[in-house]
């Protein structure tokens, strides 16, 4: 209705100015409006394309931010796990070193001749504790920067495993060394065993 009224009023105005017929005026206005119509359509299409392009760009940015957030959270979690595993490896190395030192002492301390009642204190049959779970005294690991320590305790168990063959006795002791410690509320331990024969 608006377009027809606009065409009609435009034709009447052209008729008054040019003195032509109403039909010619209507044709002229219609031709002018039709000539402008493709331009308006093209401009509207360009505007719509820009609007759609902007909307798609915003969606793409939001998707990219979401993917970046997921990747960042996964990377942080992986780094935290790697740091925890590295700390556990350092603690296990420290506990293994303590246990190995005790094993070396058991194997090297002398004289060890049970048949002559020559037994070092480290090879006394039974269980010996160095520190306890409530009062740990062994430094499993010491941070070189902060000086913080993870403390543990050691349990040494020595058993008599002598054997007799054809009236001959083979004096052999079995020693088991276990180093235990707590880290982040969880109990960890490293255990090593060895056997010691009589020196003579």
Task: Quote the CA–CA distance of 158 and 165 in Å, as a whole number.
Answer: 22
CB 181 within 8 A of CB 95: yes
Task: Quote the CA–CA distance of 135 and 138 in Å, as a whole number.
Answer: 10
The pLDDT of residue 35 is 54
Closest-CA residue to 159 (of 132, 183, 126): 126
The mean pLDDT of the chain is: 81
Range 131-143 average pLDDT: 93
CB 9 within 8 A of CB 25: no
Other Cβ atoms within 10 Å of 154 Cβ, number: 23
Task: Quote the CA–CA distance of 62 and 128 in Å, as a whole number.
Answer: 64
Task: Please name the residues in contact with 39: beta carbons below 8 A apart, sequence gap of 6 or more.
Answer: none
The pLDDT of residue 10 is 54
The model's pTM is: 0.64
The pLDDT of residue 140 is 95
The pLDDT of residue 9 is 61
The pLDDT of residue 45 is 56
Range 112-133 average pLDDT: 92
Alpha-carbon separation of residue 135 from 24, 130, 151, 182, 183 (angstroms):
111, 10, 9, 12, 15
171-183 pLDDT tens trace: 999 999 999 999 9
Would you say residue 106 has pLDDT above 60?
A: yes
Would you say residue 59 has pLDDT above 80?
A: yes
Would you say residue 41 has pLDDT above 80?
A: no
14-51 b/e (C-beta count within 10 Å ≥ 16 → b): bbeeeeeeeeebbebbeeeeeeeeeeeeeeeeeeeeee
In sign, the C-alpha dihedral spanning 10, 12, 18, 22 is positive
Would you say residue 188 has pLDDT above 70?
A: yes
65-102 pLDDT tens trace: 999 999 999 999 999 899 889 999 999 999 999 999 99
Task: Quote the CA–CA distance of 58 and 52 in Å, as a whole number.
Answer: 10
């Amino acid at each position: 209705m608006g377009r027809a009224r606009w065409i009609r009023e435009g034709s009447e105005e052209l008729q008054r100015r040019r003195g032509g017929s109403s039909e010619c005026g209507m044709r002229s206005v219609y031709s002018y409006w039709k000539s402008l119509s493709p331009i308006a359509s093209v401009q509207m299409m360009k505007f719509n394309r820009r609007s759609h392009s902007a909307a798609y760009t915003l969606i793409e940015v939001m998707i990219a931010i979401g993917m970046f957030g997921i990747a960042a959270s996964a990377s942080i979690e992986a780094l935290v796990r790697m740091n925890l595993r590295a700390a556990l490896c350092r603690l296990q190395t420290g506990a293994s070193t303590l246990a190995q030192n005790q094993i070396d002492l058991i194997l090297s301390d002398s004289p060890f001749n049970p048949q002559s009642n020559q037994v070092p204190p480290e090879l006394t049959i039974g269980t010996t504790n160095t520190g306890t779970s409530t009062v740990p005294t062994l430094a499993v690991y010491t941070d070189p920067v902060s000086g913080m320590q993870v403390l543990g305790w050691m349990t040494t168990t020595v058993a008599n495993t002598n054997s007799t063959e054809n009236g001959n006795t083979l004096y052999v002791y079995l020693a088991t060394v276990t180093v235990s410690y707590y880290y982040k509320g969880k109990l960890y331990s490293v255990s090593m065993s060895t056997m010691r024969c009589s020196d003579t």
